[in-house]
A = this chain, B = another copy of it.
Amino acid sequence: MVTVSMDVKTQDRSGDSGAGSRMAAEVAEQPLAVQRTLDALLPLRGAVSELAQGRRRVLFAARGSSDNAAVYGRYLLETRAGVLGSLLSPSVATHYRASLDLSDALVVCVSQSGATSEIVDTQSWAGANGAATLAITNVEGSPLAEYADLALVTRAGPELAVPATKTYLTQLVAMAVLGTALAPDPTVLDAELARVPGEVERLVREPHGVDAAVGALRDAAYAVVSGRGLMMGTALETALKLEETCLRPVRGYSYADLRHGPISVVTSGMTAVLVAAPDGPLLAPMAELADDLAARGATVVGIGGDPAFADACAVHVPGPELPEALAPLGAIVPAQLIVEGLARELGLDPDNPRGLAKVTATDPPQPKENP
């Protein structure tokens, strides 16, 4: 548990959040958490690649924030590694106890605590059905890490605020390690990966537009969040955090699903948060979506994108200067700052929203609510 004590010290030093919440402190710890996780996991790419030998599919099993990290992992695998990635439904394992031939699959189970029984059981089921198993968890020695064929243990350190921040971001780092390990050239994104800690730090220290975004959400009767492709997981995670932490029903839609029908509920009084990467084939469609939502009367808050996207948004919060494949590792930071600020603005405690409990990450035998 060296990383735990390291992290507690780090936390004590990060006093620049101003907000005083544990969540804000943990957001500010992320540059170091990302760096530690990169240092620990990049050397494991060879082992990941070896484990995946002869496996044609990657299947993810996760819940909540971990599931949103898996959504990123899936798109990264499909678009950068040419490997099909899919999300498993844990109930197929835990309740239906289905017999499936998984001998051609690598099953990746994701749980911050490594102790969520549903995910631990799904991993055990996957192994019994022939899968190779890879665990992504923040807790060394947890059941998930112990029983997997290989574990990518993130180095976020203990997370004390209920909303997952640094544990989520370090899961994204693990996904980037997995995605590049299975790519034709595993080093293809290494130069950009090395810039991630610096970009995360810059975004924590220069929260441009965050206060305006908080204001737009504070006054909203209802909010939706949308993104697409590699940024879809970021949209889902932003929606989940707004909902859990600020106690407001918030829906995360893919661009296409929103356009497909539910856009009919968009009216004035609604705030739409759109997350976009600075490049990629979905940037222009996201700018068009911003225009359309504004035309329907929504207040559009944009995170990331390029200048054209920013122009299409009523409120713009800059994102990372990272290519689309890694943009989620930076874009979540302004979203976290918005969530934390909005919770305080609403008079809520960002660290302990009503109705949620969290067992500390250092207590692996106990499942916690935010795996």
Contact = CB atoms under 8 A, between A and B. Distances in A.
Contacts of A251: 249, 251
Contact of A101 (B75, B82, B265, B282): B82
B261 A356 contact: yes
Interface in A236-270: 240, 243-244, 247-249, 251, 256-257, 260-266
Count of identical protomers in the assembly? 2
A5 interface: no
Interface stretch (A24-32, A87-95, A190-198): A87-95
A356 B260 CA distance: 9
Given A104-B104, A265-B247, A82 B64 contact: no
A249 B265 contact: yes
Contacts of A75: 89, 92
**Chain A interface residue number, banded:** 35 or more
Nearest to A97: B281
A314 interface: no
Given A90-B256, A229-B91, A56 B240 contact: no
A281 to B, nearest CB: 4
Given A64-B260, A256-B90, A355-B264, A82 B95 contact: no
A177 to B, nearest CB: 20
A118 interface: yes
A223 to B, nearest CB: 9
A187 B296 CA distance: 50
Contacts of A222: 249
Contacts of A101: 56, 82, 84
20 contacts: A56-B104, A57-B57, A63-B256, A64-B257, A64-B261, A78-B96, A78-B98, A78-B100, A82-B99, A84-B101, A89-B229, A95-B281, A118-B256, A240-B262, A243-B261, A243-B265, A244-B261, A244-B264, A247-B265, A249-B265
